[in-house]
Amino acid sequence: MKFLGRFEIYGVRFSECAGNDGGPGDRRPLAVDFTSSLVYFVIHMRKVAFAVTVFFLLSCVFSFSGFFPKELRRVEIPVFENKTLRYGLEVYVTDAFMEAVEKDGRLEVAPKGEGALIVEGTITDYSREPFEYDSEGNVKTYKVTVKAEIGFYDKKRGKYYMEKRTYSGWGTYRADGEDEESGIKKAAEDLADEALRKLFLSSF
């Protein structure tokens, strides 16, 4: 039997011999390079893991934007009703909601009377309380909390796409250097983000 040569597959070395008739004979393993095999395995698994991760992320992006009804993506946001004693709170919350929709990009703010989905919001509670103290017992930061009942009304079907429920947002501001308005804006932004997050999750 004539020796033809050696070759390697995934760390396993083979010798190839010719048969008695001069044609290809058999292939016999000579040695196994476990290091090469392990390296190949690790590289291969990393590629698989990367592919799975990319697929998962793309699926998530498609899910959050793809399953929400296209016909409801033009949203009308009337000024929120304010049932608290904090004057002007409705302006902060309404503005924060519009900015959140524009920043997110999955919905479009529509002019009055042109929206398919109507945001109905009522601010029900407002509070401000000490949040952090310094070493001498003085208030360092304050916490502002805003609560509102928000529903999403499907104008064409004449019913709620998502029933009214209570949402809460909060924010803090420094006692020295910031005013209460800063905390209100942060709380309003947090409230709007939470409501939108629940809206998109409801589409699954």
| Nearest alpha-carbon partner for 170 in 149, 191, 201 | 191
Q: What is the residue extent of each domain of the chain?
A: 3-66, 70-201
Q: How many CB atoms lie within 10 A of CB 173?
A: 21
Q: Which residues pair with 149 in a beta bridge?
A: 122, 166
pLDDT at residue 68 in the model: 76
pLDDT at residue 61 in the model: 46
pLDDT at residue 27 in the model: 55
**204 residues of the chain, pLDDT tens digit each:** 555 555 555 555 555 565 555 555 555 555 555 555 565 665 667 766 665 565 555 555 444 445 778 888 999 999 999 999 999 999 999 999 999 999 999 999 999 999 999 999 999 999 999 999 999 999 999 999 999 999 999 999 999 999 999 999 999 999 998 999 999 999 999 999 999 999 988 765
Question: What is Dmax (Cα atoms) for the chain?
Answer: 102
Between the CA of residue 149 and those of 3, 28, 145, what are the distances in Å? 84, 76, 14
Q: What is the pTM of this model?
A: 0.67
Rounded Cα–Cα distance for residues 191 and 188 (Å): 5
Strands 139-154 and 81-82, how do they pair?
unpaired
pLDDT at residue 69 in the model: 84
Fold of the domain built from segment(s) 70-201: Double Stranded RNA Binding Domain (3.30.160)
pLDDT at residue 154 in the model: 95
